[in-house]
Amino acid sequence: MNAHSNFQASMEHFSYEHLSQFTYDILKKIGCPDEDARIASKVLLSADLRGVDSHGVARLSVYVRLWEKGRINPNPKVRVTYETPSTAVVDGDAGLGQIVGSFAMKVAMEKAKNVGTGWVSVKNSNHYGIAGYHAMLALDQDMIGISLTNASPLVAPTFSKERLLGTNPIAVAIPAKEEPAFVLDMATATAANGKLEVLQRKGLDTPTGWVQDKNGNATISSSGVKDGGALLPLGGDREHGSHKGYALGAVVDILSGVLSGANYGPWVPPFVAFLDPLPNLVGEGVGHFFGAMRIDAFRPAEEFKGHMDQWIRRFRSAETTPGHEKVLIPGDPERELEIIRKLEGIPLLDPVVQDLSELGKKFGVQF
Amino acid sequence: MNAHSNFQASMEHFSYEHLSQFTYDILKKIGCPDEDARIASKVLLSADLRGVDSHGVARLSVYVRLWEKGRINPNPKVRVTYETPSTAVVDGDAGLGQIVGSFAMKVAMEKAKNVGTGWVSVKNSNHYGIAGYHAMLALDQDMIGISLTNASPLVAPTFSKERLLGTNPIAVAIPAKEEPAFVLDMATATAANGKLEVLQRKGLDTPTGWVQDKNGNATISSSGVKDGGALLPLGGDREHGSHKGYALGAVVDILSGVLSGANYGPWVPPFVAFLDPLPNLVGEGVGHFFGAMRIDAFRPAEEFKGHMDQWIRRFRSAETTPGHEKVLIPGDPERELEIIRKLEGIPLLDPVVQDLSELGKKFGVQF
């Protein structure tokens, strides 16, 4: 197909190291301390490695523009404002979500070390990159990691014409023994906005159940959201279970926003600099929620991980439906892509390359 | 429609009190202690009140047949076998899941009182009724309640021909102030088996994305599962996000089964007496997972509940899509039905009435 090959032709590959160094340099220029710039680049680039291109280096200039507007604090004093032995609330001081999230996940893991589990709700933060990164921090501590965040409203609940929820992802990372870890990292919408953008560029329609138009009618137009419509919750419509996707996104919103004192629902500040936050906000910044559960707070970690291997092997070796080679384990596609992209580089679209070059010029950093 | 009106005609209504007393009497006859029979009837009947008819009194005779087979212990010694300040593992001693679940949820809430949150994984249990019941126990303690369970394999993961997961529900109950609580209670399949049975009786097809046939091909036959096929994970197929429904069901399975030492995946014992559990089981009985989070381990409960009211009111008053009156809050339909059924009685299908009459005769209890 012509549209497809045009699309392929407009990609250029860059090494992980190059993009990582560039991101670090830019973050230093806007005033991030050394360690923060290092962490934030790592989180951002992990999205590119794992194939969630919409959450990686392609968004670097959005963070910079939010900093220019004073909506991101490059040198935040992230701190615990309230805690019990197994819980905490973290105030992100308007910092980069990548920094705030890493801090909060560490607090959760520290609490898990002490009392078995740790649960941290975060306010006054910003977009934190891919949810899975933070959850996966728990893996080498033999803990189960959980990471949720709310986000700017793009999703319409079942029967709603209005966008009231973000794509509010759920990530759960569970360690295994010889098998790679089980890593769920999913938006609670049928498909996240990044996939729409790809189809739009190719001039292709979406499958049913992804989008509604500005009047609230189902559409397969890949520009449906851009034209004032909304993404649909996982399930697509009521008959196919969209009330479940909506409810899951709502739980993510409540644990991230209402529990911490961040904004929630339609009040979550937009992740673009050209739209201002709503007046009369109900909380502070974006909200996240993190959990860490020490495996051996339930049963010996080695025993658990042995059973995880058995779980994974049984599912991976299941008889398949016609036309499919194997059943995937959550995390398989991302891990496989990560290996390829570390070797072959990260593909960036021409508009992204141009955007990053300009960003480099502006700050005197070579791209 | 003829099929529909025939179906309607075959329903008889019974009062909550009548069905509750009958269930209690039968449970006493099979050897449940007084208090256990009382709790189990309450949990079972809550399914009928809330409209999850497949998990209510219609299943009473299944529990009895499992007891006859020695698979349900009517007088279990349910106990904590391992714990930390925020976690516990509970051994259900092959008791009714309703009893084991209530015990485990109490342990979780006790831990939440002490250290902010409590998390309990359960092994050696049986079907526990509706997930939502257990989660809702947290509400009047100003806690968020979470309840998960694995179940007999009926769902095929994305690309799998085999049934490897149960309909593995997720329930989350969150208190509000003046508004009724937010209660999510959902199967991680597009539609649970009970809905298929209803369509089958009416001779109607299913929507797309609910079922695959025994060869792993999509079907709209409502007898697809009965004929050797499988239910599909929320999303239906890969293009519509079934890998997300599958992964959510998998997380429920792992937290309930692998973390506790219960069975998991295809090894979860069938919830019917005519099928024996698989040989070489990987754990003990059915598994559940419960969580309780004290609201004021994060922020003052009154403040939180005030914001929950605002959340609920904003969503409920959203502009609607064409043909719909309002946006529902998770828990709305079940709560409304509960009011009606407490007043008007619980409708039971003729075969269920017959089944319960026979059960009554067998045990000398009048239905």
B261/A235 Cβ within 8 A: no
pLDDT at position A242 over 70? yes
* B212 strand-pairing partners: B218, B230
CA distance B117 to chain A (A): 6
pLDDT at A201: 84
Which option is the CATH number for A10-75+352-367: 3.10.20.30, 3.40.140.10, 2.40.30.40, 1.10.1530.10?
1.10.1530.10
Average the pLDDT over each of A49-53, A102-106, A198-202 and give the range with the smallest value: A198-202
Q: Where in chain A is the domain with CATH 3.30.1370.60?
A: 76-190+239-330
pLDDT at A11: 85
Residues across chain A? 367
B159/A324 Cβ within 8 A: yes
B254/A308 Cβ within 8 A: yes
Q: Tell me whether strands B170-174 and A170-174 are parallel, antiparallel or unpaired.
A: unpaired
Residues B127-143, mean pLDDT to the nearest whole number:
98
Dump pLDDT digits (tens) for A3-43: 344 445 478 999 999 999 999 999 999 999 999 999 999 99
Q: Tell me whether strands A286-294 and A117-125 are parallel, antiparallel or unpaired.
A: antiparallel
pLDDT at position B344 over 90? yes
ipTM of the prediction? 0.97
pLDDT at position B1 over 50? no
For every residue of B110-163, DSSP letters joined together read HHHHHHSEEEEEEEEE---S-HHHHHHTTGGGTEEEEEEE--SS-BPPTTBSS-
- Mean pLDDT rounded to a whole number for chain A: 95
Dump pLDDT digits (tens) for A96-134: 999 999 999 999 999 999 999 999 999 999 999 999 999
Share of chain B above pLDDT 70, in %: 98
| CB distance B356 to B57 below 8 Å | yes
pLDDT at B63: 97
Residues 6+ away with beta carbon under 8 Å from A354: none
DSSP A319: P
CA distance A109 to chain B (A): 13
Dump pLDDT digits (tens) for B291-328: 999 999 999 999 999 999 999 999 999 999 999 999 99
| CB distance A292 to A144 below 8 Å | yes
Residue tagged 């306010």 (tokens): A123
Report the residue from A82, A159, A264 with minimal CB separation from B298: A82
CA distance A280 to chain B (A): 13
pLDDT at B6: 44
pLDDT-derived band at B289 (thresholds 50, 70, 90) equals: very high
CATH topology of domain B76-187+238-330: Ribosomal Protein S8; Chain: A, domain 1 (3.30.1370)
A121/B320 Cβ within 8 A: no
CA distance B311 to chain A (A): 7
CA distance B66 to chain A (A): 26
B299/A87 Cβ within 8 A: no
B216/A170 Cβ within 8 A: no
pLDDT at A170: 98
pLDDT-derived band at B5 (thresholds 50, 70, 90) equals: very low
A307/B283 Cβ within 8 A: yes
Dump pLDDT digits (tens) for B61-109: 999 999 999 999 999 999 999 999 999 999 999 999 999 999 999 999 9
pLDDT at position B40 over 80? yes
- Mean pLDDT rounded to a whole number for chain B: 95
Chain B residues in contact with A251 by the CB 8 A cut-off are 172, 174, 184
Q: Where in chain B is the domain with CATH 3.30.1370.60?
A: 76-187+238-330
Dump pLDDT digits (tens) for B9-39: 478 999 999 999 999 999 999 999 999 999 9
pLDDT at position A227 over 50? yes
Chain A residues in contact with B244 by the CB 8 A cut-off are 186, 234
| CB distance B262 to B283 below 8 Å | yes
Report the residue from B85, B240, B258 with minimal CB separation from A207: B240
Chain B residues in contact with A113 by the CB 8 A cut-off are none
Please give the CATH architecture assigned to the domain spanning B1-75+335-367: Orthogonal Bundle (1.10)
Q: In what order do the strands lie in the sheet with A143-149?
A: A79-84, A87-91, A117-125, A286-294, A143-149, A170-174, A182-186
Going from the C-alpha of B24 to that of each of B27, B28, B30, B34, the distances in angstroms are 5, 6, 10, 8
- The whole-angstrom separation of Cα A252 and Cα A269 is 16
Q: How many C-alpha atoms does B225 have within 13 Å on its Cβ side?
A: 26
pLDDT at position B207 over 50? yes
CATH topology of domain A76-190+239-330: Ribosomal Protein S8; Chain: A, domain 1 (3.30.1370)
Residues A234-245, mean pLDDT to the nearest whole number:
97
Residues B320-338, mean pLDDT to the nearest whole number:
97
pLDDT at position A192 over 50? yes
Q: Which CATH class is domain B191-231?
A: alpha beta
